[in-house]
Structure 1
Amino acid sequence: MRNKVIHAVMMAMLLGLSAGAELKLSAVFSDHMVLQAGAPVPVWGKSDPGTEVTVEFAGQRKSATVDVDGSWRVDLDPMPVSSIPRGLTASSDANDPAIHYSDLLVGEVWLCTGQSNMGVAVRKCINTAQDIAAADYPLIRFCNVVPDTAEEPKAELIRKPGWEVCTPDTAANFSAVGFYFGLHLYQELGVPVGLIQNCYGGATVVSYMDDETLEKTPARDVIQREDARYRAIQAERDRIFAESGVKKPGIMQRVSAHCYNAMIAPIISLRIRGVVWYQGETEALSGQQTVDAYRGWFEDYLSMMRRKFEDPNLPVYIVQLAGYGANDDRNLWAQFRQIQQDFLELPYTGIGTAYDVGEEKDLHPLNKKPVGTRLALSALNQTYGKEVVFRGPEVVSAVQKGSKVSVAFTNCPGGLVVKPAGAGNFTAVFVDGEVQDFPAETVSEGTMQFEVGDKKVERVRYAFKNTPEWALYNKTGLPALPFDLEVKIK
């Protein structure tokens, strides 16, 4: 009896606290939105507990009773692709004003997330003026989430981002990688494409993970050490601001869970087709321990995203980091790229490499069009089943016979292309530990060869440097992925 009384009191308190709550939809909903085709589409928000909310869209009418915490959700039935602009209405039996959004389409929705290189706008990049001028694509829509951090998971985004139709003005200010990814999908599929820019400069992979995942992820000591370091930096910046009024950029986007809490948690009910991920510079710059730990962290991030977005097959396409920094003995960026490349062994993942479009002294290279296009080619093949070439030459063997080492490639019909012309050094690692570069030449459609004298080679490397000096392409213009391969002796 006592428990029933306590329950009744708590219910009354919750109802009292929520009384008069105006009907609201999640901030991610707005005019011009794209809803995901072919899957149940959740629509959710807040209202008075106990009231009934009804959502109408495309001939469907779904209702739900608002929970005691004021939240509600309905799931629209899966819908086919539609380029016909339609309205979505939410109404309540509490006589709140109905909410109506217009010009919604049904198509393919992609989350473009990560750190600052994902956020570099089209207008800042090279060779984009013509694309901006031509960017009148009514079926491409943009949603730009405001960067934010939080100590605890938020129910709502810090500010309503709104969806915008792709025009020269809106395209110019959207993520370049996201824009070129979405543009290529649209041009090949001919369906509405919705792109959500959800990134924060300097963010770490662990900042995009929830607390539950972080409790089980490896290298917890490294995370705790880095969190403490970043919190100390932020505290010092806050002190300087309080004393002098000089405000430096925040750094909490590097602390574990903070980007997830503020930018991902509020939209996890959204249905999306997949994720485009451009992140890792912070870890690559932080040293060997964070580079080594990244493999386990990202695998846990991937599992979390598939669980949170209720799609065990959620595709995630990864940007392999661009060239950056002087080459040295450690080549941490090369190590990091190899870790990213190993993620191809995980299901429903793909890579768009950027090592050949990097800039040694600029962490934010401005040639983003090839990156977005390469990601789109992977998605077209792996997610949409299109017969397109989506990878460059792939190494199959390295063999030493006498003084010559031959490196064979597949996926290069018509031959190999070296850029810049005349370049082409492979790195040989000899059995005695010596490391040396050797110029190579093409000897057949898919084979390159170099001379090493009478020394035995243990491994051969290609583009395994912070900033590779050259790249090897197939005739479609796609580069070979870097490699560090054991050499067979004949």
Structure 2
Amino acid sequence: MSKWLPGALLAVLSTTSANAAPLLHDLFQDHVVLQREQAINVWGRAEPGESLTVTLASSSVQAKVDATGSWRASLPSMSAGGPYQLSVAAASGEKQVVDDVMIGDVWLCTGQSNMVLQVHRALDSRSEILNSTNDSIRMLTVPLANNPVPQYGFASPVKWLKASPQTVPEFSAVCLYFARELQKKDKVPMGLIAAAWGGSKIQSWMTAPALRSMGGYEGALDALALSSKDPIAANAQWASIWEGWWRERTKDRPGQEPWSAKPNGEWKPAPVERGYWEEWGVPELAKYDGMLWYRTNVTLTKSQAAQQATLALGRVDESDQVWINGRLVGAAGPGGEKSYPLPPKVLRAGENTVVVSVLDTYASGGLPGSMESRAIRFADGSNVVLNKEWRYQLPPANAAYPLRAPWEATAGLGVIHNGMIAPLSNLSLRGVVWYQGESNTDEGDQYQALLTRFMADWRTQFGASVPFFVVQLAGYGPASTEPTESGWAKTREAQRLAVKADPNAALAVAVDLGEYTDVHPANKQEVARRLARAARHVLYKDTAPPSGPVPASARREGDAVSVQFADVTGKLVAYSAARPIGFETCGAAAGTCEYAEATIQGQRVLLKSANSGTATRVRYCWADSPVCTLYDTAPLPAGPFQIEVK
């Protein structure tokens, strides 16, 4: 399959006028690493109609610039080695030269904050940084960017950096340690592209066509497409979707919703001067994550209401949607101080109602900015500060985690892909390392389909055989004292099943590496070792199992259940006890699971519990932050799973 962009996507990326210098895309900088043993794709921009000669080492090819100013060329594959020189020469005399080019393996390391996490924040960072010099490991970090349409270039300048004590502190720790582990057996140059964004959902990394093919995203994608042309119309379209979602869950009638003139329910005083709602001294908000409604009124003169104006909200943690006089005027995700240009005629003389929904998914939430930062600012330079009484209201539990605006960076639809992955889409890769899922733990039931479609989506851009190495979610949060339903466990199971069904993917189990008070566990060295083991199994046909023990079957034996394991290195062992813990036997319905007494018998585990004689399912390590003790002698943990009893 061709690794060039699909025609429709290429057309979008090529609409900008040609830029004569530089000739090469910004990806091709000094110290770049290009993929060995595959056709080497190179591209850039120049004057339309220009003839180019592209040379790498002793190979040269010709390229012609098309009418949009874009060109591309494919150089013959090469074995690992270097350094070489890459050059592009135009018939008109213009030339660009890239030095110190290495041929090796190129890895795209992507996901959310656990992939972002830098070496200086990881375990044993002082020693790791001091001993990090390695001329053959190089990293390019893609700058954060989101966009409603696919982009040709990066949002800001990029550089390929060699591993050294001066550069490594800011490198992605997992990505660096993964390459280092691979080099222990395969001593070739490693080119690492780190493209990750903390808090990002998987949907933001997928293309719009992939999301449309899944169904359910069409309206939001239409609003997103409209946002780059007519933001006011896009807001109106999104408002219709979001407000319909709210009414469906709450059964509010039009005119009774929280953003309306006469909303349902009680609105309690909100001491916004205290900042985060966890600091208000309100017990129901002390540890609350989810959405909270804020409401206030502001009185304007006829002259003020007639002016162009902007609503400033100051800092918001994390994302927000804002209504004025019942009309949605803006929605945005985390980052920076918020302000929204107001549509004409949304303000009126006299009393105006401002309603803000704030969603917080982690740690503290609310409107932590100063009182003065929340104001309506007018075209004449004056402003009215929103320092009157604010009130708040909690949503129903089934509406606490609302739909997110499609143009939000971390929770939008395809917008991170457009800003950070589309510029790479012609590149030849060795593989993709994916460390994401924490932000989708409220969608565990959908995540298997999302991850499966995501891998297929990226293979249309980087090649049908590109392998994926997926880090399963680590444990996070307090340990459970009884069987429980868990969005984190569902997401881990979705990761396991998506990878199991894909012959060109492998899983790195990390549940035992979590830290219950920190969603960012520091032991990235072990994560990288497990990823490298998985990669050696898939790519280099290493006979060792890619991960730890995996369930093969569960069968009833009298009043007990026997779970047979495969991919066991050596034998099954239990740490710190004679028997493993973490097993549950369950009926078909939720809430029917019981902890089971487990006994290791060779490569199987025998389970007995109050309901084991009638159990239809077995779960293992099923909680946000489970304590699990079953390993093999590799030593690698048996990962979380749910399996039917046959």
Same fold (TM over 0.5): yes
CA drift at 1:450? 4.3
1:440 and 2:598 are equivalent in the alignment: yes
1:299 and 2:296 are equivalent in the alignment: no
CA contact (8 A) 2:549 2:566 kept: yes
Give the Cα separation in 2 of the matches to 1:379 and 1:471. Answer: 25
Higher helix fraction (1 or 2):
1
Give the Cα separation in 2 of the matches to 1:414 and 1:64. Answer: 55
In structure 1, the gaps of 5 or more residues are 1-13
Provide the secondary structure at the position in 1 that maps to 2:506. strand
What does residue 428 of structure 2 align with? 271
Give the Cα separation in 2 of the matches to 1:89 and 1:244. Answer: 55
TM-score relative to the length of structure 2: 0.66
CA drift at 1:387? 2.9
CA drift at 1:340? 0.7
Structure 1 window deviating more from structure 2 (168-177 vs 54-63): it is 168-177
What does residue 341 of structure 1 align with? 496
Provide the secondary structure at the position in 2 that maps to 1:24. coil
Change (3 A) 1:324 1:40: same
Q: Deviations over 1:415-458 (max 9, x none)?
A: 2233355662421225896422134343x432333443686241
CA contact (8 A) 2:506 2:546 kept: no
CA contact (8 A) 1:231 1:255 kept: no
CA contact (8 A) 1:324 1:363 kept: yes
Structure 2 letter corresponding to 1:109: V
Give the Cα separation in 1 of the matches to 2:32 and 2:56. Answer: 13
1:213 and 2:210 are equivalent in the alignment: yes
1:318-333 residue pairs with structure 2 within 5 A?
318-326=470-478, 327=480, 329-333=484-488
1:90-105 residue pairs with structure 2 within 5 A?
90-96=88-94, 98-105=95-102
Change (3 A) 1:16 1:415: closer
What does residue 627 of structure 2 align with? 469
Q: Deviations over 1:200-221 (max 9, x none)?
A: 1122211112222222223327
Provide the secondary structure at the position in 1 that maps to 2:166. helix
Provide the secondary structure at the position in 1 that maps to 2:453. helix
Change (3 A) 1:487 1:22: closer
1:167-182 residue pairs with structure 2 within 5 A?
167-182=164-179
In structure 2, the gaps of 5 or more residues are 1-13, 225-237, 243-318, 322-330, 341-366, 375-406
TM-score relative to the length of structure 1: 0.86
Give the Cα separation in 1 of the matches to 2:219 and 2:626. Answer: 29
Give the Cα separation in 2 of the matches to 1:211 and 1:420. Answer: 49
Provide the secondary structure at the position in 1 that maps to 2:167. helix
Structure 1 letter corresponding to 2:641: F
Provide the secondary structure at the position in 2 that maps to 1:147. coil
Give the Cα separation in 1 of the matches to 2:62 and 2:538. Answer: 36
Change (3 A) 1:211 1:420: same
Count of aligned positions: 463
Give the Cα separation in 2 of the matches to 1:177 and 1:222. Answer: 37
CA contact (8 A) 2:32 2:100 kept: yes
The two structures, once aligned, show a CA RMSD in angstroms of 3.0
- Between the two proteins, what is the percent identity of the paired residues? 31
CA drift at 1:171? 2.6
What does residue 183 of structure 1 align with? 180
Give the Cα separation in 2 of the matches to 1:333 and 1:476. Answer: 26
Which structure is larger by alpha-carbon Rg, 1 or 2?
2
Give the Cα separation in 1 of the matches to 2:31 and 2:16. Answer: 36
Change (3 A) 1:261 1:401: closer
CA contact (8 A) 2:560 2:612 kept: no
CA contact (8 A) 2:468 2:506 kept: yes
Structure 1 window deviating more from structure 2 (102-111 vs 132-141): it is 132-141
Change (3 A) 1:185 1:413: closer
Structure 1 letter corresponding to 2:332: Q
Provide the secondary structure at the position in 2 that maps to 1:108. strand
Provide the secondary structure at the position in 1 that maps to 2:476. coil
Q: Deviations over 1:92-128 (max 9, x none)?
A: 12233x2222111101101001111110112211234
Give the Cα separation in 2 of the matches to 1:242 and 1:256. Answer: 32
Structure 2 letter corresponding to 1:119: V
CA drift at 1:305? 0.7
Structure 2 letter corresponding to 1:318: V
Change (3 A) 1:21 1:242: farther
| Deviating 4+ runs (over 6 angstroms) | 14-17, 221-227, 240-243
CA drift at 1:145? 0.7
Provide the secondary structure at the position in 2 that maps to 1:216. helix
What does residue 513 of structure 2 align with? 357
Give the Cα separation in 2 of the matches to 1:471 and 1:377. Answer: 21
CA contact (8 A) 1:357 1:365 kept: yes
